[in-house]
Chain A
Amino acid sequence: MGISRRNFFKILSVAGAATATARTPARAWESQAPSEAYGCIVDLTRCIGCRKCEQACNEVNKLPPPDRSFEDLTVLDRKRRPDEKTFTVVNRYYSGRIDERDQLIPTFVKLQCMHCQDPACASACIVGALSKQENGAVNYDVSKCIGCRYCMVACPFEIPAYEYHDPITPRVMKCTFCYERVANEGKLPGCAEICPVEAITFGRRDTLLKVARDRIKENPGRYVDHIYGEHEAGGTSWMYLSAQPFEKLGFVTLPDHPMPRLAETIQHSLYSYLWSPIVLFGMLSGIMWAFRGKGERQEDHEGGNL
């Protein structure tokens, strides 16, 4: 074989040196969470499962009318997920608690987009159609979306839904945090405004965390000592208080670090200033140059060769 080992190692060491110098020290991954994010606390010990929030959400977001009326509580007999026509749903759980008359006590859980502090969906989106806003909302810009659905793959809460039956202009559908109402009209999110028992408290996320901690402290025995969303997936703008462990109420157990951290760290350490492709290109050119004309066939010395 026409490989000159000395040449080969020379090239490798040159390339290695280039790698060492070209490589900017990869900065540690940093959270992009806005400091003044708003959010909501959903207090599951207060929720009475009236589905008023579902109705309000449907109205303020001008969603299509539901198959069954919002007054119909038998809907709760089945567990539902938010979908392309419903940004929020309430589910009923029996966790085994009973009241003084031996009746099972239901717990109602309202689901919607969690508006993560470092949202996986926004990190994943190929065009940046999803983005975390200063006020905490994770906003969807349909004019950029190409419909790749990577956001749906990425979301740890399995929230974004898709208009699969629209052939040409389907949209990703999820809770908007009533962005327009909150940011431009100074109103509360539709669901938080209507809730008759104040199960949904809207406010700045840091304030909400204090409120939640106070509630846990001031009502011993009422809550489990866990604010769901404080740390899950690096923290979310929507958070929950509960009397039962969250695993029993359909909440997914998640790591505390933000979902995008690993992938973004790898991406940025490899591709900042495109250093690695450039180094690789240089290495390969070197190898090609070193091995030029060293082929094993005679006729490749003819002109026009590389």
Chain B
Amino acid sequence: MSHHHAAPTHSKFWTPGVVALAFVAAVGLVAIIARYIGGIGYVSNLSTARPWGLWIGVDVASGVALAAGGFTTAFLAHILGKHYYEPVVRPALLTAMLGYTFVVLGLLVDIGRSWAIWKPMIYWNFNSVLFEVAMCVMFYLNVLYIEFLPMVIERFKGRVRLPGAPDALNRAIDSLLALADKVLSKIMWVFIIAGVVLSCMHQSSLGALMLIAPTKLHPLWYTPILPLLFLTSAIAVGYPMVVFEATLATTSLKLDSEMKILTPLTRFTVFLLGIYLALKVGDMVIRKTYVYLLDGTSQTNAFLIEMVIGVLAPWLMLLSPKVRQSRRWLFIACTMVVGGVLLNRVNVFVVGYRPPVSETNYFPSIGEVAITAGLIAGLMLIYRFLVTHLPVLNKPEKEVIA
């Protein structure tokens, strides 16, 4: 594949923003240590009635959904062959790779026996939706690492200079990299397709997780098509997520704004988000759940915000070419889509989850928030580190007036 433009940014790493992120990550680390000393109960508000909370809703479910940019851009650029969009594939891939890595880190914190996380590999339960999700996430994470490898190879191929190492060793590593490069470029198509297939599988299955608890999930969200809704919303959020991070990254690193790619990219979003919107509304009409809409409970309010601000409004905005061409408005609309999908996952796993027997109020504890925030900050730090040193982002072609 030809990525003539991607290059390490080599920008300054320790900016004030980065220092703030490092602080948040450090606080999260302290909370994680507390979790491994005092137990999950020590840092969280989880209970018998509320076995899953913020961590599953944000770190895992939202993390997976918002990493959808990886497989949706790969589909567009590499499977449909629209190479015009090539420049956003690498950053989206990096986000997906980091996103899933942090999903797994979040899971490690959340599951009671972190050290036993490998057990699903030998104890299989084909009835369990979670088993399928876990298998797909595991394979997909490996696929992502493989898809990311060319960026590492590209960076070091032909310039391996291990300090103090004999020349022969350096040359050996170099030829190994060259070989890997050749092999990878021949078989990469398998991983690209596998990545899309695995993504479709577990994005939808994440929605199927709640199907086993019909009495606990609020009827506004509980529907047999929950897996389909999760899949379509993940596909729909892929490109807005790309716009969201591209705008943030290009602003913060003072790169090209890439609007000439982002604007046409979001044309697809009008269509994809439209499908999701239609499915959501159609499902509501068919199951007659609109009767709950004006209940005024926190559930219905959360649903209204999710649908109106998170789906309907940005969809209407994106319909207008003016919005798609304005850097600022496109960013706003895409942020709303991203927020809407994030809120949807939180609603399904946290807000809409109401155990009927021991109805308890749940609000995440400070410890839970600290860990989630810390993981996100850690992810952003590594992202910044990697784009500084590896050819991920596009080299500015010209100075932009931001």
Interface residues of A (CB under 8 A from B): 1-3, 81, 83-84, 120, 122-129, 144-150, 152-154, 156-158, 160-170, 250, 252, 254-255, 259-260, 262-264, 266-268, 271, 277, 280-281, 284-285, 287-288, 291-297, 299-300, 302, 304-306
A144 proximity list for chain B (CB < 8 A) = 119, 123
Pick from A81, A156, A268: contact of B358, CB below 8 A. Answer: A81
Q: Are A147 and B193 in contact (CB under 8 A)?
A: no
CB distance from B82 to the nearest CB of A (A): 6
Flag B70-101 by CB within 8 Å of A: 1 or 0 each. Answer: 00000100111111101000000000000000
Q: Are B40 and A164 in contact (CB under 8 A)?
A: yes
Q: How far is the CA of A254 from the CA of B224 in the complex (A)?
A: 17
Q: Is B12 an interface residue (CB 8 A)?
A: no
Q: How far is the CA of A164 from the CA of B192 in the complex (A)?
A: 40
Nearest B residue to A1, CB-CB: B82
A123 proximity list for chain B (CB < 8 A) = 125, 127-128, 212
Flag B185-204 by CB within 8 Å of A: 1 or 0 each. Answer: 10011001110111011000
Q: Offer 17 A-B interface pairs, CB within 8 angstroms, sorted by A.
A: A128-B123, A147-B116, A164-B40, A164-B41, A165-B39, A169-B113, A170-B112, A252-B357, A267-B132, A280-B196, A284-B197, A285-B189, A288-B79, A291-B79, A295-B81, A299-B2, A304-B1
Give the contact stretch, choosing among B43-51, B283-291, B334-342: B43-51
Q: How far is the CA of A128 from the CA of B110 in the complex (A)?
A: 19
Interface centre among B48, B116, B197 (most CB of A within 10 A): B48
Q: Is B52 an interface residue (CB 8 A)?
A: yes
Main secondary structure of the interface of A (DSSP, over half): loop
Give the contact stretch, choosing among B30-38, B158-166, B389-397: B30-38
A153-B216, A288-B189 are known; give 10 further A-B pairs, CB within 8 A. Answer: A81-B48, A127-B123, A127-B124, A149-B112, A158-B357, A162-B40, A281-B194, A281-B197, A288-B78, A306-B192
B23 proximity list for chain A (CB < 8 A) = none
Ranked nearest first, the 9 interchain pairs of A and B with the lowest CB-CB distance are A147-B112, A164-B41, A295-B83, A152-B51, A149-B51, A291-B81, A127-B123, A128-B125, A170-B112
A162 proximity list for chain B (CB < 8 A) = 40, 46, 48, 51, 112
Q: Are A305 and B227 in contact (CB under 8 A)?
A: no
Q: Are B115 and A168 in contact (CB under 8 A)?
A: yes
Q: Are A158 and B1 in contact (CB under 8 A)?
A: no
Q: How far is the CA of A134 from the CA of B125 in the complex (A)?
A: 18
A296 proximity list for chain B (CB < 8 A) = 82-84
Nearest B residue to A259, CB-CB: B212
A262 proximity list for chain B (CB < 8 A) = 211-212, 214, 224
Q: How far is the CA of A125 from the CA of B123 in the complex (A)?
A: 10
Nearest B residue to A302, CB-CB: B2
Q: How far is the CA of A283 from the CA of B78 in the complex (A)?
A: 14
With A128-B125, A300-B86 as known contacts, state yes or no: A266 contacts B208, CB within 8 Å.
yes
With A125-B128, A260-B212, A281-B193 as known contacts, state yes or no: A294 contacts B81, CB within 8 Å.
yes
CB distance from A12 to the nearest CB of B (A): 14
